[in-house]
Structure 1
């Protein structure tokens, strides 16, 4: 397999909360030393690993997951695990877990000393198959990127009693922010966002409540988004398909940040 054919399964989670004001999204700033999207504001997420695939087949710890498409099931677990690792948020069913216990398990999972399955078994927690809502599926074509992340995006409500905070390692800052404000900060140069993040923020900004955001996700087909370069009025544009819920489907290639 050549470098141009590398494809990495990944998952991303858009955490949503809504108090008395507009819908806010949890975003983190990746450390500048990270190999992909260093210094960029992103949603929590990461690669699908073998332990995620195995956990998706465990009927006791992940009830209902065996009924899902296997790729979707493993990606959902990766999104939940990565959100726990990166932000300390548990999207599981079970009793209270102390900060000391969370810190212990987050470190061990990140260092691959134990797995998320081990954490679930030890704490008596279980995965909730209804916790995540499929939102999008992005993967660049082979002729556009050398390292191709085949990424599934999910929505989830921020659970009551949970606190989200960057890990200080892979991510150095974090924000609860509206989609519109995140876009405004990127436009002003305060933050940087890559092309898929911008498109997803624009889509999220269309809805004014969590219910509306989730309803839009349910009503919109999760088709594969594969950006392509097209020439428009003599200028190259990075474009995505119409009909998948995105209000903006093209951006000048020179302006598009690609990680």
Structure 2
């Protein structure tokens, strides 16, 4: 397990307490050929964090996720297992897709599971009801982001990103109409182009991850790249340059672009 950071390794600033969160980057084969499609959800503008932005499905790790992880046991550290459960649960809630679980065969159960989660039931209860079992190996660790003290300390998230392969199927994803107003499938490059045309908004971490994801022709290539770059926490920092302040990330995490001008960088 990664050593917990208490101070920023570059600035030395104390890091604020962060809420654990998890995100699922869902791949599916492009029926038209070419780069794989990724699922993006557009958050409602009223949301305090990333309001109006297009993001990957995900959210906070709940206490019930930790309880379920504790019950399951296994080789993963508790916080890592809980984060993977949260990514699975949030994807069901936000997009209606049941991924990262084994034993799923009935589409009607998926609809019922989503309703149950929205009704306040835990993922553990839902899985027990339908005979589903978490399959953590389906979730490939991709990255982990945590903003430092100069960000808004009231909504600081320590977010783990996972890659999941939906294969060559056409999974039916539907928006939840609560936290998210719409969803769409697009290649990483297409999402970046939409953002450059102001058709969607993307926050700094999403942009950096899309640039990295755009390097790969399929899920296997992205997963191989992830294996070559073991996850360690990405901490942003502000760098003063001749043309002004830049929001940056350190090299070595696998990202092809390491920063952009602070004035144009969209943060949560």
TM-score computed with the length of structure 1 as normaliser:
0.91
Q: Counterpart of 1:54 in 2: which secondary structure?
A: helix
Q: Does 1:107 align with 2:150?
A: no
Residue in structure 1 matched with residue 42 of structure 2 by the alignment: 29
Match of 1:209 among 197, 218, 228: 218
Q: Does 1:90 align with 2:98?
A: yes
Q: Does 1:76 align with 2:84?
A: yes
Q: Does 1:44 align with 2:52?
A: no
What is the alpha-carbon distance in structure 1 between the residues aligned to residue 30 and residue 190 of structure 2?
A: 17
What are the Cα deviations for residues 46-76 of structure 1, in whole angstroms up to 9, with x where unaligned? 00011111111223xxxxx521122111101
Residue in structure 2 matched with residue 143 of structure 1 by the alignment: 150
* Residues 161/258 of structure 1: CA separation in 2 closer, same or farther (3 Å cut): closer
How many residue pairs align between the two structures? 249
Displacement of 1:134:
0.2
Displacement of 1:34:
1.3
What is the alpha-carbon distance in structure 1 between the residues aligned to residue 38 and residue 266 of structure 2?
A: 21
Q: Does 1:195 align with 2:204?
A: yes
What is the alpha-carbon distance in structure 1 between the residues aligned to residue 56 and residue 238 of structure 2?
A: 25
Residue in structure 2 matched with residue 124 of structure 1 by the alignment: 131
Displacement of 1:133:
0.2
Q: Counterpart of 1:10 in 2: which secondary structure?
A: strand
Higher mean C-alpha deviation, range 156-165 or range 174-183: 156-165
Residue in structure 1 matched with residue 140 of structure 2 by the alignment: 133
Displacement of 1:6:
4.1
Q: Counterpart of 1:57 in 2: which secondary structure?
A: helix
Where in structure 2 are there 5+ consecutive unaligned residues? 1-14
Q: Judge conservation of contact 2:97–2:110 (CA < 8 Å) in 1.
A: no
What are the Cα deviations for residues 34-54 of structure 1, in whole angstroms up to 9, with x where unaligned? 111111000000000111111
Where in structure 1 are there 5+ consecutive unaligned residues? 60-64
Match of 1:15 among 17, 23, 26: 26
TM-score computed with the length of structure 2 as normaliser:
0.88
Q: Counterpart of 2:70 in 1: which secondary structure?
A: coil
What is the alpha-carbon distance in structure 2 between the residues aligned to residue 246 and residue 95 of structure 1?
A: 34
Displacement of 1:257:
0.2
Displacement of 1:193:
0.2
Q: Counterpart of 2:111 in 1: which secondary structure?
A: helix
Residue in structure 2 matched with residue 62 of structure 1 by the alignment: none
RMSD in angstroms over aligned alpha carbons?
A: 1.6
